[in-house]
Amino acid sequence: MTHILLYWNHICVLHRQEKAFLQELAGRLRREGIELEVRFFGLGYPEHMSEYLARPDAVFPDLIVSADLEVFEDRAIFSKLEPELYPAADWVPLRESPALDAVRRGDKLLPAAAIPLVYYTREPEVCAQMRLPDWAGLAFGGINNSAVKTVVKTVWEKWGREAASDLLDRSLVTDMPIGAFQAVRQEQARTALVPSLYALRADGQNAFLRTPQEGPVLIPSYLCARTSAPEWAARRVAEGILCRELCDFYVTNGDLILFPACTQLRSGQEGERFCCPSAAWLDALARDDFYGLYREKFPAAIDPVQKIKEHPLV
């Protein structure tokens, strides 16, 4: 029996169904000689995956599926993983699209899905005229997950560090994306940048879904595999995860953009333009520069590496 350890930090609002799917997949793989063990991270668990992997005593898995993007974007974390990763970006056939072009990150990260952030608004006419960095009073959320970080990085790359800083100063930033959605519902804000799953609740009379000028902001997720596992087994698990059943589920229940070619279903947010930090820009971003700005704006925000320095393991 070949043992595969999978770390999973994915779509929190759909996690109950994700967990059931993985349990069923583990049963199927066992009949093929693969023992799949899954460890979960994120909302409802003690740590985000990036926090755990930053620890000096972290045990690395064989496979990762994560929407906690600091796993891949924080060089202090990813540099420990990268030398041992298979070139797995083509292990599953992918559907070519502008969204896929926006999220490609080299040959070691396999794009799985993306959460599209769009406007949930009471002022649709303003959304049509407003560039992302020019908003005053925009609500968005997810300080300690990837959502706010991705908005900051997107604005920083396209319009500069000062524009990202100014946007944060003028915005209502909530702990979680649903908090930004609720801010508009409770009339604490006029417009929120939120996952389309929330914005689809707009009634078209008092609240509206609108696409940003620049296109939806994408929060992508990736699969990667370490050479600690036999390639045949790692490939089989990757194929088992990114199958039509799970991909269809994500589109139908989460309005996610799925990159594997196995699904014929499409998010309502598919289009020609998307916002997402580029691989080249992320490679050049100094982590101290990013977290210097981020923790200046959000002193309680978690920097996984700094957390270890402040609370060293005994």
Q: Average pLDDT for residues 200-211, to the nearest whole number?
A: 97
Phi, psi of 210 (to 5 degrees): -135, 145
> Is 98 within 8 Å of 272 (Cβ atoms)?
yes
pLDDT of residue 314: 41
CA distance 37 to 78: 22
Chain segment 78-112, per-residue pLDDT in tens = 999 999 999 999 999 999 999 999 999 999 999 99
pLDDT of 9 above 80:
yes
Q: What local confidence, expressed as pLDDT, does residue 306 receive?
A: 75
- Residue 286 neighbours by CB distance under 10 Å: 9
Could you tell me the pLDDT band of residue 305, with boundaries at 50, 70 and 90? Answer: confident
Q: How far apart are CA 115 and CA 185, in angstroms?
A: 21
Residues 263-288, mean pLDDT to the nearest whole number: 96
> What is the structure's pLDDT at 304?
85
DSSP state of 32: T
By three-state DSSP, how is residue 120 classified?
strand
Query: Tell me, what amino acid is at 121?
Result: T
Q: Which of 177-191, 250-264, 266-280, 296-310 has the lowest mean pLDDT?
A: 296-310
* Predicted confidence (pLDDT) per residue in 217-234, tens digit: 999 999 999 999 999 999
| End-to-end CA gap in the chain | 35
The mean pLDDT of 45-63, rounded to a whole number, is 95
For 274, the token pair is: 């998307």
Alpha helices, DSSP H, located in 108-206: 124-127, 146-159, 161-170, 177-185, 196-199
Token pair belonging to 297: 């704006």
The pLDDT value given to residue 146: 96
Q: In whole angstroms, how far apart are CA 128 and each of 32, 121, 124, 177, 208? A: 53, 11, 7, 22, 12
pTM over 0.75: yes
Span 49-57, average pLDDT: 95
Buried b (16+ CB within 10 A) or exposed e, 257-282: bbbbebbeeebebeeeebbbbbeeeb
Domains of the chain: 2-113+220-266 (3.40.190.10)
How many whole angstroms separate alpha carbon 195 and alpha carbon 216?
A: 9
Beta bridge partners of 52: none
What would the pLDDT profile of 117-152 be if each residue is shown by its tens digit?
999 999 999 999 999 999 999 999 999 999 999 999
- The token pair at 160 is 């500069």
Please give the mean pLDDT across all residues of the chain: 96
Task: Decide: 273 and 215 in contact? Cβ < 8 Å.
Answer: yes
- Helix 146-159 to helix 287-297 angle, to the nearest 10 degrees? 110
Question: Is residue 51 within 8 Å of residue 302, measured between CB atoms?
Answer: yes
